[in-house]
């Protein structure tokens, strides 16, 4: 299942739009984020997992790929979005 | 947008205003931000901004066909004009010092940089802090620019909206280069950008590290700073008025009317040399501050208040805006180039004679000449006069004390 969401990152005093794509596979394990994520963004997968648990949702147990486009450096913003994907 | 906590709460983020502006540009329908940032992002018109505190609200919101949360609407104009003149300090608090107030009035009217030189306790800092109260109010556009920078730097208080007053930044003299002009791995704006459209006050100027003062030179000319790093090159606006203060010598009492300076020979010169010529070149007004005598301190005569000075400043700025309307990027006398100077700052024969005499007698340097013309133009604008009269020149000449060769030698 593939979901696309709009996000944004701040670049200097301007904001640039970012598309966040989340896709989950039918096989595999360990989620991954591609598109040059900053460390803070990489860690966010674990926050998302924890939030899912505390709020009674299930994290898919197969491989999840998150893509941030365009491939720049992003910071904290995109988390919210990746778990929105599940709400759909 | 939003930073997620482990239990699903959503925490505030930096830079929600630029994000909201961008979202409107791209014609997005709405934007969901943390509650604490909602007012900041809500300033943008034609965009539904929803403030949320928990991730469940967001999920419910989307499952209920985008209903259930009311968009945050801010009447930007009303809030902006409401708090524009809300100052806690006023020039009327300062007793005496009429000549300094006058000099700051000129600085505010022409956007000139100024340096205040005087012994400790003379009131330099007190005067400089009151400068924003006489500056013309921010336009909506300027306020938006300034707010954007503060938003990116994460310097906006919670639930803040537009910054309605000109910023006043006074960094401590231990500041590093990067903190002043901006920088870092992911470049962040520095003090000069945070002072955009406002005042940067450097107290005790010679105590700053030399490199720190030198990095400021280029941004002062360009009114913006470009930070280039291996991965990114970013532009931050940095259009500020520099107000500096310093003691005339290490002990502080050189030229003091009553006390003796105890500095050894050469020390005064050495102290002044800490400020480079090119930097001094960019400072139009040198103002000597002397301590207020007791008789004036205890005086209960009412002083001129900020409001009346501000009215004069605004009038002078209007004259300048009219004059420079065909010159993009220039809005005040301080910014004109030496080529324009010859067209705009015409002086008559009497004025020429006066200037010649003064330059010879006081041993003024060539760089002082341009500055004197610019400052006298501003004084003429303040008086509402078309021409630069000799008396305006005379007043401008006395604001060049550091160029005088007799100083500290």
| This model's pTM is above 0.80 | yes
Do residues B111 and B176 both lie within one domain? yes
Per-position DSSP letters for B46-111, written without gaps between them? TSEEEEESBHHHHHHHHHTTS-SSPPP---HHHHHHHTTT--S--GGGS-S-HHHHHHHHHHHHHT
> How far is the CA of A58 from the CAs of A48, B238, B239, in angstroms?
11, 49, 52
Query: Nearest chain B Cα to A38, which residue?
Result: B186
Q: Are B312 and B293 within one domain?
A: no
Which residue's entry shows tokens 């010598």?
Answer: B249
Which of B2, B4, B20, B29 is the best mutation test for A, with the most CBs of A within 10 A?
A: B4
In whole angstroms, give the CA distance from residue B61 to residue B31.
12
Nearest CA in chain A to B26: A17
Check whether residue B211 and residue B269 sit in a common domain: yes
CB contact under 8 A, B55 and A77: no
Q: What is the pLDDT of residues B354-405, one digit of tens each?
A: 888 888 887 777 777 888 888 999 999 998 888 888 889 888 888 887 766 5
Question: Is residue B157 located within the same domain as residue B43?
Answer: no
Quote the Cα angle for B127-B131-B135, to 5°.
160
Within an 8 Å CB–CB cutoff, is residue A11 touching chain B?
yes
Task: Name residues whose C-beta falls within 8 Å of residue A39's C-beta, 6 or more positions apart in sequence.
Answer: none
Residues B337 and B393 occupy one common structural domain: yes
Q: What is the ipTM of this complex?
A: 0.79
**Is residue B210 situated within a structural domain?**
yes
**Is B250 part of a structural domain of the chain?**
yes
Please tell me whether residues B73 and B135 are part of one structural domain.
no
Interface contact A56, partner B, CB < 8 A: no
In the block, tokens 């300033």 appear at B43
pLDDT of A78 reads 47
Element of type H or E holding B158: none
For residues B10 and B94, membership in a common domain is answered with no
Instruction: Name the nearest CA neighbour of B207 among B181, B160, B171.
Output: B171
Which pLDDT score, from 0 to 100, does residue A87 have? 46
How far apart CA B288 and CA B335 sit, in angstroms, is 24
One domain for residues B183 and B284: yes
Of A13, A17, A48, the CB nearest to B4: A48
Domains and CATH numbers, chain A: 2-87 (3.30.230.10)
Q: Which CATH number is B21's domain given? A: 3.30.230.10
Half-sphere exposure of B34 (CA within 13 A, CB side): 21
DSSP string, B328-350: TT--SGGG--HHHHHHH--B-HH
Q: Please identify which residue in the block is written with the tokens 């979005």.
A: A81
pLDDT, position B199:
92
- Angstrom distances, CA of residue B262 to CA of B250, B256, B276, B317: 9, 11, 24, 44
Residue B384 domain-assigned (yes or no):
yes
Buried b (16+ CB within 10 A) or exposed e, B341-362: beebbebeeebeebbeebbeeb
B367, B281 contact by CB (below 8 A) = yes
Q: How many interchain CB pairs under 8 A, A with B?
A: 91
- On whether residue B219 sits in a domain, the answer given is yes
Q: What is the pLDDT of residue B169?
A: 92
Number of other residues whose CB lies within 10 A of the CB of residue B141: 9
Task: Tell me which chain A residues have a C-beta less than 8 angstroms from the C-beta of B26.
Answer: 17
Residue of A nearest to B151 (CA): A13
Cβ contact B365:B372 at 8 Å: no
Intervals of chain B under pLDDT 50: 408-409
For residue B200, the cross-strand partners are: B169, B242
CATH of the domain at B135: 3.40.50.300
Q: 2-21 in B: which are within 8 Å (CB) of A?
A: 2-8, 10, 13-15, 18-19, 21
Would the CB atoms of B234 and A77 count as touching at under 8 Å?
A: no
Which of B80, B98, B130 finishes a domain? Answer: B80
Please give the DSSP secondary-structure letter assigned to residue B46. Answer: T
Query: Which of B297, B325, B354 is the last residue in one of the domains?
Result: B297
Tell me whether residue B409 is in a domain.
no
Domain membership of residue B315 (yes or no) is yes
Rounded Cα–Cα distance for residues A88 and A46 (Å): 20
B236 vs A13: CB contact, 8 Å cut-off? yes
Domain total in chain B = 3
CB atoms < 10 A from the CB of B324, how many? 18
Give the CA dihedral B82, B88, B93, B98, nearest 10 degrees. Answer: -50
Nearest 10 degrees: CA dihedral of B202, B208, B213, B216?
Answer: -50
The neighbour count for residue B366, using CB atoms within 10 Å, is: 8
Cα separation, B378 vs B317, in Å, equals 9
Q: Is A10 on the interface with B (CB under 8 A)?
A: yes
The predicted structure's pLDDT at residue A72: 58
Element containing residue B168 per DSSP (H, E): strand B168-169
Rounded Cα gap, residues B109 and B102, in angstroms? 10
Overall average pLDDT of the A17-31 stretch: 80
Residues B216 and B93 in one domain: yes
Decide if A14 and B63 are in contact by the 8 Å CB cutoff: no
Please, what's the b/e burial string for B52-62 (b: 16 or more CB within 10 A of its CB; e: otherwise)? Answer: bbbbebbbebe
Chain A residues close to B63, C-beta within 8 Å = 87
**Size (chain B), residues:** 409
Quick one: pLDDT at residue B115? 92
Contact present, B87 and B306 (Cβ < 8 Å): yes
> How many angstroms away from the CA of A27 is the closest CA of chain B?
27
Q: Kindly identify which residue of chain A lies nearest to residue B1, measuring between CA atoms.
A: A77
Window A:15-34, CB contacts with B under 8 Å? 15-17
Nearest to B26 among A7, A17, A54 (CB): A17
| Distance, CA of B217 to CA of B225 (rounded, Å) | 10
Looking at the fold, whether B135 and B277 belong to one and the same domain comes out as yes
User: What distances in angstroms separate CA B124 from CA B16, B172, B210, B218, B234, one per listed residue?
Assistant: 38, 15, 22, 26, 35
- Across chain A, mean pLDDT equals 72
Question: Do the Cβ atoms of B6 and A54 come within 8 Å?
Answer: yes
Domain boundary (B80, B113, B136) is at B80
In this structure, the answer to whether residues B48 and B182 fall within a common structural domain is: no
> Do A44 and B13 count as a contact with CB atoms less than 8 A apart?
no
CA–CA separation, A84 vs B95, rounded Å? 61
Asked whether residue B408 is domain-assigned, the answer is no
8 Å CB contact of A13 and B152 = yes
Question: With contacts defined as CB-CB under 8 Å, which chain B residues touch A55?
Answer: 7-8, 55-56
Are residues B375 and B359 located together in one domain of the fold?
yes
How many other C-beta atoms lie within 10 A of the C-beta of residue B166? 23
The range of the structural domain enclosing residue B135 comes to: 88-297
């Amino acid at each position: 299942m593939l979901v696309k969401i709009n996000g944004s990152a701040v670049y200097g005093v301007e904001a640039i739009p970012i598309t966040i794509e989340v896709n989950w596979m039918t096989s595999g394990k360990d989620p991954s984020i591609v598109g040059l994520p900053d460390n803070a963004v990489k860690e966010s997968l674990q926050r998302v997992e924890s939030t899912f648990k505390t709020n009674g949702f299930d994290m898919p147990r197969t491989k999840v790929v998150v893509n941030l486009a365009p491939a720049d450096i992003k910071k904290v913003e995109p988390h919210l979005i990746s778990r929105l994907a599940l709400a759909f | 947008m939003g930073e997620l906590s482990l239990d699903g709460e959503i925490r505030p983020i930096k830079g929600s205003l630029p994000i909201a502006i961008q979202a409107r540009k791209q014609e997005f329908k709405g934007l969901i931000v943390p509650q604490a940032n909602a007012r900041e992002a809500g300033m943008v018109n034609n965009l539904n901004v929803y403030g949320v505190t928990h991730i469940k609200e967001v999920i419910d919101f989307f499952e209920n066909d985008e209903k259930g949360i009311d968009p945050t609407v801010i009447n930007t104009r009303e809030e902006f004009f409401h708090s524009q003149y809300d100052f806690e300090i006023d020039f009327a608090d300062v007793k005496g010092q009429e000549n300094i107030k006058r000099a700051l009035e000129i600085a505010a009217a022409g956007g000139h940089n100024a340096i205040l030189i005087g012994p400790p306790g003379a009131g330099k800092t007190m005067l400089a802090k009151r400068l924003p109260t006489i500056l013309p109010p921010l336009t909506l556009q300027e306020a938006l620019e300034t707010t954007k920078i503060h938003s990116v730097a994460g310097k906006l208080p919670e639930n803040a909206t537009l910054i309605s007053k000109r910023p006043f930044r006074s960094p401590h003299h231990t500041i590093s280069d990067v903190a002043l002009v901006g920088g870092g791995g992911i470049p962040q704006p520095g003090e000069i950008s945070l002072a955009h459209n406002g005042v940067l006050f450097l107290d005790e100027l010679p105590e700053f590290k030399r490199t720190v003062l030198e990095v400021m030179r280029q941004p002062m000319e360009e009114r913006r700073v470009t930070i280039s790093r291996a991965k990114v090159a970013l532009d931050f606006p940095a259009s500020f008025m520099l107000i500096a203060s310093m003691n005339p010598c290490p002990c502080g009492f050189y030229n003091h009317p009553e006390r003796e300076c105890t500095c050894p020979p050469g020390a005064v010169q050495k102290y002044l040399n800490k400020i480079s010529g090119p930097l001094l070149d960019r400072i139009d007004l040198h103002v000597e501050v002397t301590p207020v005598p007791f008789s004036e301190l205890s005086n209960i005569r009412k002083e001129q208040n900020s409001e009346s000075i501000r009215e004069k400043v605004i009038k002078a700025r209007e004259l300048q805006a009219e004059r420079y309307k065909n010159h993009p990027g220039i809005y005040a006398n301080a910014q004109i180039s030496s080529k324009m100077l010859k067209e705009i700052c015409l002086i008559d024969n009497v004025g020429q004679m006066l200037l010649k005499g003064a330059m010879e007698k006081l041993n003024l340097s060539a760089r002082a000449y341009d500055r004197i013309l610019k400052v006298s133009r501003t004084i003429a604008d303040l008086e509402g006069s078309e021409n630069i009269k000799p008396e305006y020149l005379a007043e401008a000449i006395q604001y060049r004390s550091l160029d005088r060769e007799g100083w500290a030698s």
